[in-house]
Amino acid sequence: MADIELRNLTKRFGDLVAVDSVDLDVEAGEVMCLLGPSGCGKTTTLRMIGGLEWATEGDIFISGKRVNDLKPAQRDIAMVFQFYALYPSLTVAENLAFPLHAEKVGEEEIEKRVARIANILELSHAMGRIPGRLSEGEKQRVAVGRAIIRNPTCFLFDEPLSRLDIALRQEMRGQIKMLLSDLNKASVIVTHDQIEALTIGDRIAVMRDGLIEQVASPHEIFASPGNIFVAGFIGTPQMNLIAGRNLKPGDGDSLGLSLCNQDIVLPLTSDIAAGAAGKSEVTVGIRPRGFDLASESAADTLSGKVDLIEPMGAETLVHLTTDAEELRVVTDHRAAPAFGAAVHIRPRAGQIHLFDENGLRIGA
């Protein structure tokens, strides 16, 4: 039994279906990130788990108990929001202790737990300060500490790092990941930041228009996106998604087809080749880092002309125009071609994804 179970969970606001028949399990000790574009229903899903929004249909179970009709305080959860509300006149120690006083925990136990949390979150130096005298990162850590001090069954985080600057976000990502793995509770984190989801999540649920498009580990979401939406949404720079026409199976697992109005032979894995058998059209997905530069045109290369160069530090993002679609290719900055140059690129074996006419992944 998972610690959090959502079954057919649906939320309608008038005619708008904000969350559409969502099924999701979050195990004890697991960190589940809800990831998706703005308005896809992440926050509404989280708010329904937390009891801040009633479900229109479906069931929410926490530790096996149906909680749909319970108030937030009765659900044994802790929530951390983007806009952390600390009590401005209370010190860090008092802010941390507040939920325990409310639960009538004994003074000695409160002192012990506050000290432990302060230690874990590196707040011991600031225990006597009020929030107005804390940095943003320290405030955020107090908010997290106040949520986890109660030892609930599960944690819900809504964009917990979105107010922090980039450097602090990076630092806090690591801290939150370590903290959650120590706590060993079911956690749900809403984020629109894919790096956050890929680094913190044990699994990621990618949402679009109220629906869950794929639930899988960060590696699987990245390496085997289940459909075109997930393929295009995860990964920067964005995956090239190219219309493939006139498919002709080649020798072994290779596939001949027309891409960008050019004939090419692609090396496929055997499961993808088997799945493509009998199809005449597919969408081919190749990440910008999934090509090698070739010195000349060949049966397994595509050609294009450089029309934009974007330096990214050690790497360079090169945009190529072809007769049809534009292609994005990432190269080592030392190997980046010049603006206007004719370039040949070879899709790398193992880096080629195919999607069928319904946008679904072909092969494993």
Q: Closer CB to ligand ATP, residue 79 or residue 264?
A: 79
How many chain residues are in contact with ligand ATP, going by CB under 6 A?
12
Q: Closer CB to ligand ATP, residue 96 or residue 230?
A: 230
Classify burial at 105, counting beta carbons within 10 Å of its beta carbon; exposed 0-12, middle 13-18, buried 19 or more.
middle
Is residue 191 at the binding interface for ligand ATP, with CB under 6 A as the rule?
A: no
- 8 A C-beta contact, residue 363 and residue 269: yes
Is residue 201 at the binding interface for ligand ATP, with CB under 6 A as the rule?
A: no
Output the smallest distance, CB 177 to ligand ATP, in A: 21
Q: Closer CB to ligand ATP, residue 163 or residue 305?
A: 163
Output the smallest distance, CB 40 to ligand ATP, in A: 4
**Binding-residue pattern over the window 39 to 78 for ligand ATP, x denoting contact by CB under 6 A:** xxxxxx----------------------------------
What number of H helices and E strands is found in the chain?
Answer: 9, 21
Is residue 163 at the binding interface for ligand ATP, with CB under 6 A as the rule?
A: no
Restricted to residues 265-284, the positions that interact with ligand ATP (CB under 6 A) are: none
> Token digits for 276?
């493509």
CA distance 256 to 245: 9
Output the smallest distance, CB 289 to ligand ATP, in A: 27
Cα-based angle 258, 262, 264 (whole degrees, multiple of 5)? 65
Give the C-alpha distances (Å, rounded to integers) separating 362 from 140, 214, 279: 43, 15, 11
> Token digits for 351?
């880096």
What are phi and psi for residue 104, nearest 5 degrees? 60, 40
Q: Which stretch binds ligand ATP (CB under 6 A): 1-9, 31-39, 69-77, 180-188?
A: 31-39
> Token digits for 202?
């044990």
CA distance 337 to 343: 7
Going 261 to 264 to 269 to 273, the CA torsion angle's sign is positive
Q: Closer CB to ligand ATP, residue 12 or residue 289?
A: 12
What are phi and psi for residue 99, nearest 5 degrees? -65, -25
Q: Which stretch binds ligand ATP (CB under 6 A): 32-40, 63-71, 255-263, 275-283?
A: 32-40
Q: Closer CB to ligand ATP, residue 150 or residue 192?
A: 192
Question: Where along the sequence are the contacts to ligand ATP (CB under 6 A)?
Answer: 13, 16, 18, 36, 38-44, 192
